[in-house]
Amino acid sequence: MLLALVTIAAAWAGYSAAKWGTASRVDIARSLTLRNLATRDELTAISLRNFDSSTFTAWFTAYTLNSRQKEAVAERRFRPAFRVAFNAWMATDPLHNPHAPPGPTYMPQYKLPPMARADALDTAANVKFDEGNHAGLVSDEYIRITVFLAAVLFLVGIGSSFKLYSIRYALISFGTALLILSVVLILQQPGLPK
Residue 180 covered by a domain: yes
Residue 193 covered by a domain: no
Residue 179 covered by a domain: yes
Residue 80 covered by a domain: yes
Distances (CA, A) of 35 to 23, 24, 32: 18, 16, 5
Measured in residues, the chain has a length of 194
Per residue of the chain (194 residues), give pLDDT as tens.
788 899 999 999 999 999 999 999 999 999 999 999 999 999 999 999 999 999 999 999 999 999 999 999 999 999 999 999 999 999 999 989 999 999 999 999 999 999 999 999 999 999 999 999 999 999 999 999 999 999 999 998 888 888 888 998 899 999 999 999 999 999 999 989 98
The parent domain of residue 34 ranges over 2-188
Residue 194 covered by a domain: no
Q: What is the pLDDT of residue 83?
A: 97
| The total number of structural domains that make up the chain | 1
Q: What is the pLDDT of residue 163?
A: 85
Residue 114 covered by a domain: yes
